[in-house]
Amino acid sequence: MKTDVVVDAKGLACPMPLVRAKKEMDRLNSGEVMKLISTDPGSVNDFASWAKRANHEILDQQEEDGVYTFYVKKG
């Protein structure tokens, strides 16, 4: 998938992945896509809740060996 920015939040604990994602998202234009990588199990629900709240769209998400990857389109 074409991504405009990659946010690597591996190893970071709550609320850091969210804060990192928000800061990078502020720099994107509407419609651009962020690839988000996290190892915090809570981030699955956290990013869903954040995307809903901030009007972003989660295009795809994967889990592999405890690493979560999300593709989020800016709303």
Partner 1 sequence: MAEEQNNTTMVVFSGDLDKAIASFIIANGAAAMGDKVTMFFTFWGLNILRKENVQTPKKKAFMEKMFGKMMPQGPDKLGLSKMNMGGMGAKMMKKVMKEKNISTLPELMEMAKGLGVNIVACTMSMDVLGIDKDELIDGIDYGGVATYLGEAYDAKVNLFI
Q: Which of 6, 13, 14, 48 is catalytic?
A: 14
Binding-site member from 3, 4, 12, 32 for partner 1 (CB under 8 A): 12
- Side chain identity, residue 5: V
For residue 15, whether the previous peptide bond is cis, meaning omega lies within 30 degrees of 0, is yes
For residues 34 and 74, is the Cβ–Cβ distance under 8 A?
yes
Q: Which residue, 11 or 41, has its beta carbon nearer to partner 1?
A: 11
Position 2 contacts partner 1 (CB under 8 A)? no
Shortest Å, Cβ 14 to partner 1: 7
